[in-house]
């Protein structure tokens, strides 16, 4: 990893299913998206950023961004997404152990789209989709370790302003580097991670659902690992805020 740069902040298209494959509700709401591609074709490549079916060890994600001049290995990728129903931007998850790498996954997009979508396409008008159906494999530009990466619980997404991640505005292909000498400082990301972790702690303390509890604990553990790995020397927060906890021995109130 480049010494001072810890990763990227990027923006991805909204999904209602945790970015784990084709989003039927997003397809039905395609006119609400700001991305011309989604409006025209009815899906976003980013919908597969947390898709479990590509590989047992890695997530393969797509981000619409300018090609970065600094390509970083084993880094952190912070995902921001605009909620198409309220127009607010949210911190929705991250990749860790990530590498910017343009790849074609050994899946044709045809294999990833539901029959209802395929049947809805006007083949006389949508030549792009016809070519996809016939030949095109799924393209990604980030590879990340599943064991270190997570999307957040939807109830715990964190509202974010562009200046909190080093951007003047959330442009369609905009991104920022995270680093001591970059537009987005490590302290800014540490603050966001701390806040989103506290959101998950709140829901963990109040849930009575065992399955939900396991999921929330896993997310909190991954947030803590990222904080320790990248931001430990930046801890300058009020006492008790952003502390690393052992969720297996912590006594919930």
**pLDDT tens digits along 86-95:** 999 999 999 9
Within 10 angstroms of residue 185's Cβ, the number of other Cβ atoms is 17
Supply the pLDDT for residue 129. 75
Reply yes or no on whether the pLDDT at 247 is more than 50.
Answer: no
**154 domain-assigned:** yes
**224 domain-assigned:** no
Rounded to the nearest integer, the mean pLDDT of the chain is 88
Write out the E strands in 83-170. 89-108, 137-145, 150-151, 158-159
**104 domain-assigned:** yes
Which pLDDT band, with edges at 50, 70 and 90, does 3 fall under? low
Give the contacts of 209 (CB within 8 A, at least 6 positions apart): none
* Residue corresponding to tokens 């209602």: 16
**109 domain-assigned:** yes
* Residue corresponding to tokens 């912590």: 250
Quote the number of domains for the chain.
1
**203 domain-assigned:** no
Domain of residue 30, residue span: 5-181
Q: CB of 219 within 8 A of CB of 172?
A: no
**173 domain-assigned:** yes
In percent, the amount of the chain with pLDDT more than 90 equals: 67
Give the contacts of 217 (CB within 8 A, at least 6 positions apart): 204, 247
Tell me the two tokens of residue 172: 């369609």
**242 domain-assigned:** no
In percent, the amount of the chain with pLDDT more than 70 equals: 91
Main-chain phi, psi angles of 189, to 5 degrees: -70, -40
Reply yes or no on whether the pLDDT at 246 is more than 60.
Answer: no
**137 domain-assigned:** yes
pTM of the model: 0.89
């Amino acid at each position: 990893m480049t010494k001072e740069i810890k990763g990227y902040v990027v923006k991805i298209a909204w999904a209602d299913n945790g970015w784990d494959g084709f989003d039927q509700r997003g397809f039905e709401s395609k006119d609400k998206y700001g991305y011309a591609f989604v409006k025209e074709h009815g899906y976003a490549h980013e919908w597969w950023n947390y898709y479990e079916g590509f590989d047992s060890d890695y997530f393969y994600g797509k981000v619409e961004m300018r090609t970065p001049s600094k390509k970083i290995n084993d880094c952190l990728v912070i995902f921001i997404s605009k909620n198409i129903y309220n127009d607010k931007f949210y911190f929705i998850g991250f990749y860790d152990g990530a590498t910017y790498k343009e790849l074609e996954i050994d899946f044709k997009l045809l294999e990833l789209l539901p029959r209802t979508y395929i049947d809805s396409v006007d083949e006389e008008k949508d030549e792009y989709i016809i070519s996809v159906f016939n030949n095109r494999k799924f393209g990604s530009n980030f590879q990340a370790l599943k064991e270190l990466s997570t999307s957040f619980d939807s109830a715990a997404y964190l509202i974010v302003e562009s200046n909190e991640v080093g951007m003047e505005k959330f442009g369609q292909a905009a991104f920022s580097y995270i680093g001591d000498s970059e537009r987005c400082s490590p302290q800014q990301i540490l603050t966001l991670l701390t806040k989103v972790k506290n959101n998950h702690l709140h829901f963990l303390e109040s849930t009575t659902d065992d399955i939900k509890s396991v999921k929330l604990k896993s997310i909190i553990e991954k947030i803590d690992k990222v904080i320790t790995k990248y931001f430990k020397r930046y801890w300058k927060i009020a006492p008790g805020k952003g502390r690393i906890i052992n969720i297996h021995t912590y006594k919930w109130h």
